[in-house]
A and B are shown apart, each in its own frame.
Chain A
């Protein structure tokens, strides 16, 4: 069964999200807020994984795209005024599309660069967006955009999270989408075997930017306040950490399954599953550690270092070593 990500999962997921949203009023408001934070983090991390993970292009611009989508959707809601709630999904889509357009404009020149250079360019792009937001009076400049209506419900957030997960897994698990992974594995070989590598990279970038824009719109209508400082490069790092941790978790799960069953059932889904798990874990951790929030980056840094040292590859080589010793 080579192709995962059948459409029925998409419909089941959306139905579940809508179902839960009817139960939402019963929940404690604080926990509800955290759950929506988690949903937004899932959209961000899964969409960044298409760029950084599957396609292997290290981007640090996700917070920038989130800002573009967030500010635009919020501005639209404020301009529309009374009927804004009816137009909320359209505002979100508009924010996503603008972010995708910006992604296209940034992506075409910068995706010629590789590795560290691409990271620096996307980092610079994020900072430009932040500075522009800080100096544009129409969206509140440095004091931020206030009074955004609270439209980001549980249903909308998880509905879009399900769509994001579906789009990324359905793309990657198809002949077309294997091109993303081929670009990550060997760009020269991909190009000479008929994969237009520039177009593939830009496609991943634009898709990721679109969902980052959606996440930004949800974030704006959840927090009801946007400030340029909320979209600095540390926000991008937050998402990158989720992707790194998630990839490690995914590999760990695949490795454990291989040991348990001798093969990996549902291969091709675990990396996304790991990303979701990481988004949940890290968002909850941020919430739990709110009182020591100034130490958060230190904890993240330590987490990454420990992950690099205890990478699944290393863990499994230890496992194999022990097993070989037992056998001999």
Chain B
């Protein structure tokens, strides 16, 4: 069997006296949709920040396609194929919708500083290519009519979607979604579930999903890992997780078991 796409091996991170994530071992295979759940403060977003290189694990290791990601910059990891969205939307507020995509697609545009200054034939072709790619993405996700509007002027649901599309523009192998359903109404959540399923199939992506909404998590994840106080307390299929005593205890208290 080939090596997993993403592999956390006893990854631990401490901030002073606080162990935010403790010996987390987790694998995500290519094309798999894995959920990461847990009560507030369990360390889900911190785990994301370790995987994307924002934080370095204090001990343990993280491997992506078999290579250790220690001391690799987040921008480099994005280039290698790890993309993410954020819990609180982080769009480029003064840039237009299409330029938000273009910044992410810039990874695959070989033209740099002097290309932009010289503006030769090669540069024009690359710019046209990038723009075409960005427009295609916007069309697939039904955002093309907003292409020249400022990203920040979009409605909330569209901003969430744009953030996912922007992550896709880096052409990732794994997409990390941090609470994509936060603040959405039930029908938007249904749309989101369809969207996640669609991009996973269409782009052959692995997805790691942090989410509080159990309907979303149970509905689409193939496998779920549960964190509590930085430790993984359970892992399994949605069915197994739903009746796992430790999970019920973590969410509802010991009396509920």
Contact = CB atoms under 8 A, between A and B. Distances in A.
B88 to A, nearest CB: 10
Interface residues of B, number: 42
Interface stretch (A31-39, A143-151, A195-203, A303-311): A195-203
Given A170-B117, A170-B119, A193-B103, A178 B54 contact: no
A79 B68 CA distance: 55
Interface in A178-222: 178-179, 181-182, 184-186, 188-197, 203
A140 interface: no
Given A185-B94, A188-B90, A189-B90, A177 B116 contact: yes
A181 B92 contact: yes
B115 A186 contact: no
B107 A194 contact: yes
B116 A171 contact: yes
Contacts of A136: none
A191 B170 CA distance: 12
B86 A189 contact: yes
Nearest to B119: A7
A6 B104 CA distance: 24
A200 to B, nearest CB: 9
Interface string B122-147: 01001100110000000000000000
A312 to B, nearest CB: 14
Contact of A178 (B78, B106, B117, B123): B106
Contacts of A191: 54, 73-75, 78
Contact of A192 (B78, B113, B118): B78
Interface in A1-42: 2-3, 5-7
B41 to A, nearest CB: 20
A314 interface: no
Contacts of A174: 111, 115-116, 119, 123, 127
Interface in A62-108: none
A231 B167 CA distance: 45
A181 B96 CA distance: 11
Interface residues of A, number: 30
A194 B78 contact: yes
Which has the most chain B C-beta neighbours within 10 Å: A167, A179, A186, A189?
Answer: A189
A203 B54 CA distance: 22
B91 A194 contact: no
B99 interface: yes
Contacts of A117: none
A203 B167 CA distance: 24
A12 B92 CA distance: 34
A175 B105 contact: yes
B93 A185 contact: yes
A64 B94 CA distance: 30
Which has the most chain A C-beta neighbours within 10 Å: B76, B99, B116?
Answer: B116
Contact of A189 (B73, B92, B130): B92
A6 B119 CA distance: 8
Given A171-B117, A175-B109, A177-B116, A196 B127 contact: no
A181 B167 contact: no
Which has the most chain B C-beta neighbours within 10 Å: A6, A167, A193?
Answer: A193
A176 interface: yes
Contact of A175 (B54, B102, B118): B102
Nearest to B105: A175
Contact of A188 (B54, B112, B119, B170): B54
B116 A176 contact: yes
Interface in A146-182: 167, 170-171, 174-179, 181-182
Contacts of B166: 193
Nearest to A186: B90
B209 to A, nearest CB: 17
Nearest to A264: B148
B52 A192 contact: yes
B28 to A, nearest CB: 18
Given A175-B127, A178-B106, A196-B73, 18 more contacts: A171-B116, A171-B117, A174-B119, A176-B112, A177-B116, A178-B99, A179-B103, A182-B92, A185-B92, A185-B95, A186-B91, A186-B92, A189-B92, A193-B75, A193-B104, A193-B167, A195-B106, A197-B75
Q: Which 3 A-B residue pairings sit nearest by Cβ, starting from the closest?
A: A174-B116, A194-B78, A189-B90
25 contacts: A3-B119, A7-B119, A167-B117, A170-B119, A174-B111, A174-B123, A175-B130, A176-B113, A178-B102, A181-B94, A181-B99, A184-B94, A189-B91, A190-B92, A191-B54, A191-B73, A191-B75, A192-B84, A193-B170, A194-B78, A194-B79, A194-B104, A194-B106, A195-B103, A196-B75
